[in-house]
Amino acid sequence: MSIHPSAIVAEGAVVPASCTVGPYSTIGPDVVLGEECVLVSHVVLDGRTRIGARNTFYPFCAVGVAPQDLKYGGEPTETEIGDDNTIRESVTISRGTTKGGGVTRIGSGNLLMAYVHIGHDSQVGSHCILANCATLAGHVTIEDYASVGAFCPVHQFCTVGQYAFIGGGTIVTQDVLPFSLTSARRENRAFGINKVGLSRRGFSPERLQTLQKAFRYLLAAKLNTSQALEKIKAMTGGDAAILAEFVERSQRGIIK
């Protein structure tokens, strides 16, 4: 096992022999690490935190720390992280609260760039990218394959749909449509589908054409939301159904 002499690993922590714990890192007593994790240096893992395999933690990140919630009273809430995540410098991930479900959860294959904050009870899917200084307030949901640009704050209880791309500096106070390209110029707007990102993820021309048609109903046609949803539901293809279902279950409203 590679544990630097300056690191502190509390009694009770589970650290497999395949892990590397760098200088001045601290691991709390209720932390469980998976195989082949790397703590580069100055990493803090705290609380009831369960971490999968092959995750890399860069200097000064703090994972599983107490939530920034004045109602939190030290309850034994949790943080769960999947496999193959890259968590860069100074990222902070707060554990859950009892009123928010008790668990902050991160999936697998994500890139969290420097200074990202993931607030208590947030749920981040898999294969997401959160760019530098993206900030998730408590109770935020980021679905699979979504990208959140640099310096984007996301309001409590918002959902960012799957495969969405949010441009840098966008203040997100409503739900972001799946598959969309959403950004702030003078005001927040959805500009259609995230065509480049979807193509890179292997979406066929037929799938892209279906999504473009669905987005025209929702964003460009002279239809109200209910009328647009009727048109979208009548379309064939699972992507259109995902879009319609997302709009119908939105609690904060959507960015159009």
The residues annotated with a catalytic role in the active site are 120-121, 138
CA distance 46 to 55: 16
Q: CB count, 10 Å around CB of 225?
A: 15
CA distance 184 to 149: 11
CA distances for 16 relative to 54, 55, 87, angstroms = 11, 13, 19
Distance of CA 162 to the CA centre of its chain: 10
79 touches 64 (CB < 8 A): yes
CA distance 128 to 146: 5
Query: Closest Cα to residue 137, out of 150, 151, 118, 109?
Result: 118
126 touches 111 (CB < 8 A): no
